[in-house]
Amino acid sequence: MAPQGYYEELYQTNLTRLDEYVIDIMRKSGGYLREHAFDYGIIEWKKKDDPVTILDKNVEKHIRQELSLYTDKIGCVGEEFPASGEQYELRAYIDPIDGTKSFVRGEFLSSISIGIEDGRFDGTGLFAGYVYDFMRDMLYMANYNCTKLLYGRENHNLPIYANPIFSRPTISFDDGLEETAKHFQKDYSVRKQTGSIALAMAQLAAGGYDGLIMPPKTKSHSYDIAGGLPILKGAGYLTLDAKLNELDWEKPINGMIFLKPSIADKFLKEWREYNGS
């Protein structure tokens, strides 16, 4: 784990331009996706229910190339191409279109997601995250000292939404948790999670709702959540797996529970009772 004050010093030296650089890359990539939103060509299937288009590949290729111009000490772990530069000081975790299925359906609950890790603190060095809702031009980001939303020319600190004081907390449940959602709807407003997980994480951090529950999935990868996790942590949210251990973001296959602190004690007590633990 990085010593206290490490990233503050790092930003003051050789990372001062990192945020601006990544944000510029994402906005240019987002413009390309908006331009080709209905021109994505032939859909390929990597696995059942896991589509990919030429746009996914083009955007990841562009991000990798642009990051290499920022520094030759950055490796990339992405969805569409093999990992590179694992020994480098920095690693970028790239999901060029998180929520491709939603994108090709025209729902556009999709995002570009990038997380940046200091490779010298393997597993604990994820210090910056960026999630771009490119169809709405809303860019969520976090680094060592801020979490914010960049919307057009406006700059907002997170959270930006607040539920009415007397409303019930809202929990979003992913596919496969329908029965679980029914159990919890007596105490919570429940909704179904669809589209980009990274975007859902960012919207959660922004205060759009109160909790996000994902079941164990063997196909979950680090690049799925590396952009959203620093944003949630920066906003003070709990980030656990389904067994209530701290989330292993490098291999998030044991489910995910993200909770606003104000509802965490009550929900986790109910979760333990529901699961008999």
Q: Which of 211, 218, 206, 205 is nearest to 193 (CA)?
A: 211
Instruction: Give the pLDDT score at 164.
Output: 58
Q: What is the pLDDT of residue 73?
A: 85
- The token duo for 143 is 């680094």
List of domains in the chain? 6-157 (3.30.540.10), 170-275 (3.40.190.80)
Tell me how far CA of residue 252 lies from CA of 28, 166, 219, 222, in angstroms: 29, 34, 9, 7
CA distance 206 to 162: 9
Two structure tokens written together for 30: 């987002």
Phi, psi of 78 (to 5 degrees): -130, 175
The pLDDT of residue 31 is 97
| 130 beta partners | 114, 141
- Contact call for residues 109 and 60 (beta carbons, < 8 A): no
What is the distance between the alpha carbons of residues 90 and 74, in angstroms, rounded to a whole number?
Answer: 5
Q: In what order do the strands lie in the sheet with 238-240?
A: 189-192, 170-173, 211-214, 256-259, 238-240
Predicted pLDDT of residue 9: 72
Q: Is the peptide bond before 159 cis (omega within 30 degrees of 0)?
A: yes
Q: Which two tokens stand for residue 145?
A: 């000292």
Q: What are phi and psi of 31, to 5 degrees?
A: -60, -40
- Per-residue pLDDT of the chain (277 residues), as tens digits, is 777 677 777 776 667 688 999 999 999 999 999 999 999 999 998 877 789 999 999 999 999 999 999 888 899 999 999 998 877 888 999 999 999 999 999 999 999 999 999 877 766 789 999 999 999 999 999 988 889 999 977 889 998 876 655 578 999 999 999 999 999 999 999 999 999 999 999 999 999 999 999 999 877 899 999 999 999 999 999 999 999 999 999 999 999 999 999 999 999 999 999 998 7
pLDDT of residue 250: 92
> For residue 69, how many C-alpha atoms fall within 13 Å in the half-sphere facing its CB?
9
What is the predicted pLDDT for the residue at 166? 58
